[in-house]
Structure 1
Amino acid sequence: MKKSFIITLLFFITVSIVVSCEKNDVRMREPQVASLLVPANFPIPVFDTGNPLTKEGIELGRRLFYDKRLSGNNQLSCGSCHKQELAFSDGVALNNIGASGNLLHRSAPTLINLAWANNGLFWDGGSTNLESQAFGPLTSEDEMHQNLFQLNDELMAVPDYVSRFNFIFKDGISSANIVKALAQFQRTLISANSRYDKYIRHETGGTLSASELNGLQLVRQKCQSCHQGDLFTDNDFHNNGIDDDFSNTAFDGIFLGRARVTFNNADLGKFKTPTLRNILLTSPYMHDGRFSTISQVLDHYSDGIKVSATTDPLVKQNPGGLPGISLTPQQKADITAFLHALTDSTFINDTQLAGP
């Protein structure tokens, strides 16, 4: 009896251990939930796209971001036009490395702190979120020119991709899941470790010179109506007076600005406010890259505003509401000095954001 009891007891213990191990193994085989590391001086991001972050999804997105299979001719990746060393911009005014070889009509925007970009993407806000945005460059004839069905087939021919997609998404490889993975990775492109950030957070290395401190105060006084808070953008759309004629409706009305999307004439010439973070790495400037230097940008705001019916009152700061933002040569030099303090060397050298 004792021997039989002991055998029976050992059997149940063994079964319990096996079942427990299987349950733990199941948990280990589930994607690990990931959360964004929100900098202390940043607001909490608000986005709800039905695309929760996972450690594995972010890694898959990183691999896809740098994979040239995503272009129709297998010559371009997202990283071809969004280079980490340039804060994920491309360093040219208008690119022509796309599939058609045609010159694009807008400059490639920098990819920084996109988890907070909840008011439309592209220069005119034509896309509502990162997931839908990705379809634009993927399918554009002048950019990656990829057939999405062919892309699915190409990725299905790679066992590693098949394994990763099946693990992360219930329905495996699909166009929707490709852009979801890309979006997960792009939401981790958080830049918040510049000297300015260390100064604000009272961290080691957060020292600003007298000129930089003067520049910070000038930015707060004269620029932060649009370049707001520690994100240095309001993620909104403004006509900043670089044009006064919007009659050109060629190329799907791309010169109309926000009005191309809203069909509202009050939005003519309005473009999305870019962040000032890493600004000295992301030249040339404006939606069409027309200004090569920060000096030209500051000269525009002080002396080059063109007035139209939709020119933003925020760029009419001179006495009597006249156009322009008064800046002396010394003030321009101080603002430029401060902008240097917004360069985040950690961000552009972070190996977790680099290609695999």
Structure 2
Amino acid sequence: MFNKFYLYSLSRAKMYSWRLFKAFEIILLILHTVCTRAQEHALSPPYTCTTTTTLCQPGANGHTYSNDDIQVTQGRPGKRGAAGEKGERGQKGDPCQCDVADEEAMRSLRRTMETLQSTNRDMQKKVENLDARVNLLFLPSNCIEYMYVNERNGISDGLAEIYPWKNIGNMSSVLINCSLYKIDDNGWIVIQKRYDGSVDFYRNWEAYVQGFGNKDGEFWLGLKTIHQITSLRSYKLRIDLTFKNGAVKYAQYSSFVVGSELDKFKLTVSGYSGTAGDKMTYHNDRAFTTFDADNDMYSSANCAVRGNGAWWYNTCYDSNLNGRYNTDFSWPYDSILLSSEMKIRPI
């Protein structure tokens, strides 16, 4: 129910955001075009220089009229005479008179051109900023959004790039195993689930870092993903347990953090409440251990090998939820579990 409502709300929000973006984009495009056209016209004014003096205008019946309106009869041309002497140089004439002679009008036109150019640049910046905002809108901030954006392509087996802080302007991304990411109807993110032993949990370091299994069956979400999620904000942990004798119990912790790989995914857990007994505090501040990465506090042996599992072992364990099914799958060490589900939720 939670997932369906979230996806519906997300789809409606993105639909309206997309419509608003398209309308705004059209407006900006029109303004940009108008500014560009106006600029082109302003840069190519119809300035032409013309003279206002007419030297000779042809008349009718073989006559011509000079500028002084004196009529002259034109006969048959005679022989060309000898060249005359070079005359005196005339005085410099008046400068060419232009159609636009008002200097103030020219200055006003130049100011208009500069305004249009500035407006054009502003419009281009707004279009670029709008493109960036649209790209930001469709960047997933969590696995639910990632699955929505990629629903037609399916979810890849690798880690998905998520932008959890994009809404506050931080474009740093994290990698999360969305193929195993699952939220129950109450909004809890499931990080481990076991109930029938169909998935082998005795695996190496890399498998526990990346995650394994099937989110619709038994699985481990992955240390890297759990670290990325719990580093975003404060989370609490709940562990639901079913024992072989039929008892159903739970343990809840008000604070749960998994460190980075540099810290060997160190566990920080506190604030127990519940019915199953506190079997996690013993593992607090301990690094994660697998059969090929011995980070426990037991100097004589590898606790992962002894417990046939992988956990935040101390020397060695009070709980062993990733131990071999039917033999080492326990809470505490001397009990045998039928099922377990570890899940976290933001506070």
Q: Same fold (TM over 0.5)?
A: no
More helix by share: 1
Report the structure number with the largest CA radius of gyration: 2
- Normalised by the length of structure 1, the TM-score is 0.31
More strand by share: 2
Of structures 1 and 2, the one scoring higher in RCO (CA 8 A, sep 6+) is 1
- Normalised by the length of structure 2, the TM-score is 0.31
